[in-house]
């Protein structure tokens, strides 16, 4: 019988557990035997990555049989960027973009969960940390492409509907634009900004000497997400005298803007 086919109060066989792994509810720690034998608490924690502190599981003795509701995976949270709220079958879901390139600009967010500690093709996404309620994704036909940011790098991926898994993961190519920072003050200043090719989470810090100017290549969509301060370490505080001007040209680094 499949994992979804057994009731919460039914015991679990090795075959049930393998089906749960195959369908994305758990991540296996080692190969699971093909058997109708019912598993114990010790078996469960040996073969899949479980939340062993989960109270119904922790209360069991190691040699006791477990039921389905005793088992809960260790889950990991991911911020998923979608394009629009898409109306489907009487409720709204998170609609994706029409293409991977457009998805790289998605701005609306939802926190989803997975038993997978790495964002990889083939993983399932869930609405809940218990990983029991599959994310619908784009069931409504708005668009199949979404965005995720992992360790500062932005990726697009596909997730067409609730029966899907993550697929077509591609690194986003972030468009960048040229700006000119002019220091009209009489001491050095610094700017915290998102440099083209740099992190999308942690900004860069550049110094502009007194009465001088520097060219910057800024990530698309981040041209208002900056601050300028006195000194050379982007410490914040009082705002110096400066101008920050869009040059209307694209770039891959600041050298393209000169």
DSSP 49-85: -B-TTSHHHHTS-TTSB-BGGG--B--EEEEEEESEE
Please enumerate in sequence order all residues whose Cβ is within 8 A of that of 225, keeping only pairs 6 or more positions apart, or say none: 193, 194, 203
Q: Are 148 and 119 in contact (CB under 8 A)?
A: yes
pLDDT at 136: 83
Dihedral pair phi/psi, residue 14, rounded to 5°:
-60, -40
Burial class of 230 by CB neighbour count within 10 A (0 to 12, 13 to 18, 19+): middle
Which helix (H) or strand (E) segment holds residue 183: the answer is strand 176-183
The tally of CA atoms less than 13 A away on the side-chain side of residue 8 is 5
pLDDT at 215: 97
Q: Which residue has the higher pLDDT, 80 or 253?
A: 80
Closest CA to 101 of 151, 199, 171: 171
The predicted-structure confidence for 198-251, as pLDDT tens digits, reads as follows 887 889 999 999 999 999 999 877 888 999 999 999 998 899 999 999 998 888
d(CA 63, CA 111): 36
Give the rounded percent of residues in the chain with a pLDDT score beyond 90.
67
**Whole-number mean pLDDT of the chain?**
91
Q: Against a cut of 0.85, is the pTM above it?
A: no
Burial class of 158 by CB neighbour count within 10 A (0 to 12, 13 to 18, 19+): buried
Report CA-CA distances (Å) from 207 to 95, 215, 227, 228, 240: 41, 11, 12, 10, 13
Closest CA to 38 of 17, 19, 12: 12
Average the pLDDT over 98-105 and give the result.
Answer: 86
Q: Are 186 and 225 in contact (CB under 8 A)?
A: no
d(CA 92, CA 238): 44
The overall longest dimension of the chain from CA atoms, in Å, is 79
Predicted confidence band of residue 36 (pLDDT cuts 50, 70, 90) = very high
The predicted-structure confidence for 117-142, as pLDDT tens digits, reads as follows 999 999 999 999 999 999 987 766 68
Report whether pLDDT(45) > 90.
yes
H helix and E strand count, the chain = 4, 13
Predicted confidence band of residue 255 (pLDDT cuts 50, 70, 90) = confident
Q: Which residue has the tokens 């997978």?
A: 116
pLDDT at 140: 65
Domain ranges of the chain: 14-70, 76-171, 176-257
The predicted-structure confidence for 76-90, as pLDDT tens digits, reads as follows 999 999 988 887 666
Q: Which residue has the tokens 């920050």?
A: 244
Report whether pLDDT(91) > 90.
no
């Amino acid at each position: 019988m499949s994992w979804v086919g057994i009731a919460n109060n039914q015991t679990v066989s090795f075959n049930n557990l393998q089906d749960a792994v195959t369908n994305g509810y758990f991540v296996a720690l080692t190969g699971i035997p093909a058997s109708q034998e019912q598993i114990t608490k010790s078996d469960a924690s040996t073969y899949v990555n479980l939340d062993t502190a989960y109270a119904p599981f922790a209360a069991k003795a190691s040699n006791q049989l477990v039921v389905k509701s005793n088992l809960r995976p260790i889950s990991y949270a991911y911020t998923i960027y979608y394009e629009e709220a898409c109306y489907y079958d009487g409720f709204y879901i998170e609609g994706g973009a029409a293409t991977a390139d457009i998805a790289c600009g998605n701005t609306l967010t939802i926190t989803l969960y997975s038993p997978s500690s790495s964002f990889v093709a083939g993983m399932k996404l869930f609405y809940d940390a218990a990983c029991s309620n599959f994310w619908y994704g784009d069931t409504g036909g708005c668009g199949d492409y979404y965005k995720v940011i992992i360790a500062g790098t932005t990726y697009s991926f596909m997730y067409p509907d609730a029966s899907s898994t993550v697929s077509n993961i591609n690194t986003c190519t972030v468009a960048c634009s040229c700006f000119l920072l002019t220091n009209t003050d009489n001491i050095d200043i610094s700017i915290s900004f998102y440099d083209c090719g740099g992190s999308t989470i942690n900004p860069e810090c550049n110094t502009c000497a007194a009465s001088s100017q520097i060219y910057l290549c800024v990530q698309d969509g981040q041209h208002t997400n900056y601050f300028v301060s006195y000194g050379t370490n982007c410490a914040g505080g009082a705002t110096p005298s400066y101008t920050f001007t869009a040059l209307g040209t694209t770039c891959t680094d600041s050298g393209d803007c000169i």
